[in-house]
Amino acid sequence: MTRQIIVPFGPQHPVLPEPIHLDLVLEDEKVVDVIPSIGYIHRGFEKLVEKREFPDYVYIAERTCGICSFIHGLTYCQGIEQIMNIEVPERALFLRTIWSEYSRLHSHLLWLGCFADSFGFENLFMNAWRIRERILDVMEQTTGGRVIQGACKIGGVRRDIDNAKLSQMSNDLGSIRKEIDELTSVFLRDNSIKHRLQGAGVLGKTDAYQMGAVGPVARASGVAIDIRKTGYAAYGKLDLEIATECEGDSYARCVVRACELFTSIDLIKQAVKAIPEGPVDVKVTGAPNGEYFSRSEQPRGELVHYVKGNGTKFLVRSRIRTPTLTNIPPLVKMLQGCELADVPVIVLSIDPCIGCAER
Amino acid sequence: MTIEEQLTTSIDIGNLFGTVEQFKNEGYRLVQISCTALGEGYEINYSFDKDYRFENIRITIREGTEVPSISGMYPGAFIYENEMHDLFGIQVRGMNVDFKGTLIRTTVKYPFGNPAPKGEEQ
């Protein structure tokens, strides 16, 4: 029998922007088992719900993640609005959708850059992040914040975007689309990238479903789950085509995210065309008494904010189930049987956000 | 406007296995497991989804009750069950991957659990 050794991976590693530790059980160069552990940046955000009044908790919810912060705020607000039967104005729902898709663009571009960096393609990394800057500029111009926007509130949004600006955003997306097309064609056609990614970290469709994979990880394995299909915010009024692949390897996960960049651009353009005039918020009175599992589609997959109130200003419970947390068991599965040298690329291929997972 | 109907069914802990098995057989995926401290016990929610139909089952347990693991049916459940143990102190029996309290390393033991009775240290 081959001797087994354990090689620690992380919590500090060049491909990991945030800390996660994996004990890799190896037989020669082959990974036969993986034991993950987290807890290096656990912040106990969920407990803060007992100390902050429910309207203020939006700011805490947003700070769960430094990448898809807006969607965290949206999902939390949506949960409270469902409990309190608040009718959010249509325009606010469209604005939430637009900002959500800008968040997805920014997140996927960030990931493509980090991914390129993980397999040593520095120039591609810089190009991805250069385009991402244009997306962040729009976020800053329209919300006031590049990373933490603070634009969502219970009952609507804090800021409107005037129609002239919306048209300009839609036009600018034309040139951004060209740049993204150029960028993604390198990811999808370059032979050295294909050689590096194809067949690395394969997750089959059945495993993906049974292990609870979500987002691009699930869709790259042929599981077509996308919570935007439930029609939250203004998604019910837009045409959405889910990008899926069936190979389930690191390359397929890259392809899905690349396709989703174009889907996001298309959704923003649709939303700009269809956005109605009107107010962007409603006055909220009272306090939530009830519970709701609010779901949304983050760039990394399905996000759940469970909120439970008892009629006071302080919620009884906030539970944030982030996509990275649920993608850890599938990661363990896809690492089993891979070569040690492929581990960094495979880990990054799930787009891990440990800050989210730890909360 | 209601985004989606969400059905929550309360069951006894003894029926947990059978109910989860039924979801599994019907092709539902496990969305999440979460725990809420109730003061004298805990409420645990198991959420499932199939074709965007969201269903939830709930058990309510007293302090110190051991909960059976569902990781035999849903292998990915271990992450939630270990989290529930590390944050709330819930004892889960038969997990396929048992970290024995080391998945989430916290300074305070069971930070989300019910407060210890006066005079007892948690």
Query: Is B3–A232 a contact, with Cβ atoms under 8 angstroms apart?
Result: yes
CA angle A346, B73, B62 (to 5 degrees): 110
**pLDDT-based confidence at residue B121 (cuts at 50, 70, 90):** very low
Q: What is the DSSP letter of A277?
A: P
Query: Is A39–B75 a contact, with Cβ atoms under 8 angstroms apart?
Result: no
Q: Is the peptide bond before A36 cis (omega within 30 degrees of 0)?
A: no
Six token digits for residue A75: 């999902």
Sign (positive or negative) of CA dihedral B107, B113, B117, B118: positive
Domain boundaries, chain A: 1-42, 45-333
d(CA A196, CA A256): 17
How many angstroms separate the Cα of A15 from the Cα of each of A4, A69, B16, B49? 25, 22, 41, 33
Distance from CA of B97 to the nearest CA of A (A): 9
ipTM above 0.90, yes or no: no
Six token digits for residue A221: 């394995």
Distance from CA of B49 to the nearest CA of A (A): 10
Query: Is B112–A46 a contact, with Cβ atoms under 8 angstroms apart?
Result: yes
d(CA B101, CA B80): 12
Residue from the list A38, A293, A317 with its beta carbon closest to the beta carbon of B6: A293
pLDDT tens figures, B51-108: 999 999 999 998 888 999 999 999 889 889 998 998 888 999 888 878 787 778 778 8
Query: Is B36–A317 a contact, with Cβ atoms under 8 angstroms apart?
Result: yes
Query: Is A212–B112 a contact, with Cβ atoms under 8 angstroms apart?
Result: no
Give the CATH number of domain B6-93. Answer: 3.30.460.80
Strand duo B66-68 + B91-93: pairing: parallel
Give A1: exposed, middle or buried? Use CB within 10 Å, 0-12, 13-18, 19+: exposed
Query: Is B76–A326 a contact, with Cβ atoms under 8 angstroms apart?
Result: yes
Distance from CA of A164 to the nearest CA of B (A): 29
pLDDT tens figures, B12-55: 999 999 999 999 999 999 999 999 888 888 999 999 999 999 99
Give the CATH number of domain A45-333. Answer: 1.10.645.10
d(CA A347, CA A328): 9
CB A144 within 8 A of CB A155: no
Residue from the list B49, B56, B75 with its beta carbon closest to the beta carbon of A211: B75
pLDDT at B116: 56
Six token digits for residue A338: 């891979």
Query: Is B104–A39 a contact, with Cβ atoms under 8 angstroms apart?
Result: yes
pLDDT at A157: 93
CA angle A335, A341, A343 (to 5 degrees): 30
3-state helix, strand and coil shares in percent for chain A, rounded to the nearest 5: 50, 15, 35
How many angstroms separate the Cα of A57 from the Cα of each of A81, A314, B35, B55? 14, 9, 20, 26
CB A46 within 8 A of CB A357: no
Query: Is B56–A230 a contact, with Cβ atoms under 8 angstroms apart?
Result: no
d(CA B26, CA A214): 19
Provide the residue-wise pLDDT of chain A in tens; the chain has 359 residues. 678 899 888 788 877 777 888 889 988 888 998 888 777 777 778 788 788 888 888 998 888 887 888 999 999 999 999 999 999 999 999 999 999 999 999 999 999 998 888 888 888 999 999 999 999 999 999 998 888 888 899 999 999 999 999 999 999 999 999 999 999 999 898 899 898 889 888 999 999 998 889 999 999 999 999 999 999 999 999 999 999 999 999 999 999 999 999 999 999 999 999 999 999 999 998 999 999 999 999 999 999 999 999 989 998 888 898 998 889 889 988 998 898 888 988 988 888 877 777 77
pLDDT at B122: 42
What DSSP letter does each residue of chain B carry, written as one string?
A: --S--EEEEE--GGGHHHHHHHHHHTTPEEEEEEEEE-SSEEEEEEEEEETTEEEEEEEEEETT-EEE--TTTSGGGHHHHHHHHHHH--EEES-SS--TT-SB--SSSSTTSPPPPTT---
Distance from CA of A86 to the nearest CA of B (A): 8
CB A208 within 8 A of CB A248: yes
Provide the Cα torsion A106, A112, A115, A119; round to 10°: -150
d(CA A90, CA A75): 16
Q: Which residues of B touch A (CB under 8 A)?
A: 1-4, 6, 8, 29-32, 34-37, 45, 47, 49, 52, 54, 56, 74-79, 83, 86, 97, 99, 102-106, 111-112
Chain A residues in contact with B49 (beta carbon < 8 A): 225
CB B32 within 8 A of CB A304: yes
